[in-house]
């Protein structure tokens, strides 16, 4: 017995077949109703011809432990973890990947040998997003704006690349930049300079970097039209910029960069490719990241 369900929130016709043998994948978070993961995963599941469905589940922090136990009991085939559970869920895993351990966050849970294995595909998603955006090889100097959870993932991913020699971390709260810089320097043995978010730091570090990444929420809906980098004339030709914000798809940060001759890479592909990597880890099959990206772009009203 099978049935067809439409998994899309906006009626765009992403449908999957459900049977008594269907596998279930899920994403947990709090809040979760705005997640785009079901949309892109179910599109990929369909393209891969899998008998599976991907759903979102609202799990509050107090229920996290029971939810993870439930995942085992219910035989969920794989789970994504989003805000605010990425760190708390680590203690509930039977084992962790080196990457999850280093970053201090799990975004993907893989059932393995009767236990649960916590991994992190955000770094992969970020690097793949850069590669798809025209930057397969990173520059020697990278400047990261922000020092929160997203910055950690980006900083570890960049520091892990051999071609990157120097990192700068600029943050409004400089103490957080210092703590993150210490950790990244210890992990990678590279030069990592923390700096406050002032004119001088931006000029020196953002102006001198081959890649400048915004990992803050500055410019995100509903506070569009602002950039974390106050002086756009710092951007110049030969430079790349990337934004982890993808609502809106084009932020002021990226527009300022382009207007001053730098290249810009939008953040949406990061979402698609971290998801594709998760689906590959659960299924052992290569997940079509470009199909997931197309689903996301369609959602935002932009064709590929």
Closer to ligand ATR by CB, 197 or 281: give it.
197
Closest contact distance (angstroms) between CB of 251 and ligand ATR is 13
Rounded distance between C-alpha atoms, residue 131 and residue 93, angstroms: 31
Q: 92: closest CA among 113, 106, 73?
A: 106
Separation of alpha carbons 304 and 235, rounded Å: 27
Instruction: Respond yes or no: is residue 165 known to be catalytic.
Output: no
C-alpha–C-alpha distance, residues 289 and 274, integer Å: 9
Residue of 21, 46, 72, 86 with catalytic role: 86
Q: Which is nearer to ligand ATR, 149 or 208 (CB)?
A: 149
Question: What's the min distance (Å) between Cβ of 151 and ligand ATR?
Answer: 6
User: Which spans of this chain sit near ligand ATR (rule: CB under 6 A)?
Assistant: 146-151, 171-173, 176, 215-218, 228
Whole-angstrom distance, CA of residue 63 vs CA of residue 46: 31
Closer residue to ligand ATR, CB minimum distance, 148 or 208? 148
Residue in the shown chain whose Cβ atom is closest to ligand ATR: 148
**Strand residues in the chain grouped as ranges (E):** 3-6, 15-18, 23-29, 52-58, 78-81, 95-96, 108-112, 115-119, 141-145, 166-171, 191-196, 211-214, 240-243, 263-265
- Rounded Cα distance between 119 and 109, Å, is 6
Closest approach, Cβ 94 to ligand ATR, in A, equals 25
Q: Give the active site residues.
A: 86
């Amino acid at each position: 017995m099978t049935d067809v369900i439409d998994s899309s929130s906006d009626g765009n016709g992403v449908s999957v077949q459900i049977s008594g043998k269907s596998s279930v994948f899920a994403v947990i978070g709090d809040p979760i109703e705005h997640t785009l993961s079901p949309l892109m995963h179910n599109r990929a599941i369909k393209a891969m011809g899998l008998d599976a469905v991907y759903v979102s589940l609202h799990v509050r922090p107090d229920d996290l432990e029971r939810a993870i136990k439930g995942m085992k009991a219910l035989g969920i085939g794989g789970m994504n973890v989003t805000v605010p559970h990425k760190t708390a869920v680590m203690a509930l895993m039977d084992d962790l990947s080196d990457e999850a351990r280093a970053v201090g966050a799990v975004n993907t849970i893989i059932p393995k040998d009767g236990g649960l294995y916590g991994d992190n595909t955000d770094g992969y998603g970020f690097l793949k997003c850069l590669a798809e955006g025209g930057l397969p090889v990173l520059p020697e100097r990278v400047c990261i704006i922000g020092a929160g959870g997203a910055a950690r993932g980006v900083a570890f991913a960049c520091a892990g690349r051999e071609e990157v020699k120097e990192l700068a971390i600029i943050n409004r709260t400089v103490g957080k930049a210092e703590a993150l810089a210490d950790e990244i320097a210890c992990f990678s043995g590279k030069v990592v300079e923390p700096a406050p978010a002032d004119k001088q730091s931006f000029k020196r570090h953002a102006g001198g970097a081959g890649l400048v990444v915004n990992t803050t929420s500055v410019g995100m809906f509903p506070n569009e039209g602002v950039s974390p980098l106050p002086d756009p004339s710092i951007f110049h030709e030969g430079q790349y910029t990337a934004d982890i914000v993808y609502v809106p798809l084009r932020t002021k940060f990226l527009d300022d960069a382009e207007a001053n001759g730098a290249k810009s890479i939008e953040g949406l592909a990061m979402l698609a490719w971290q998801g594709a990597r998760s689906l590959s880890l659960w299924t052992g099959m290569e997940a079509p990241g470009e199909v997931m990206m197309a689903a996301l772009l369609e959602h935002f009203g932009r064709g590929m």
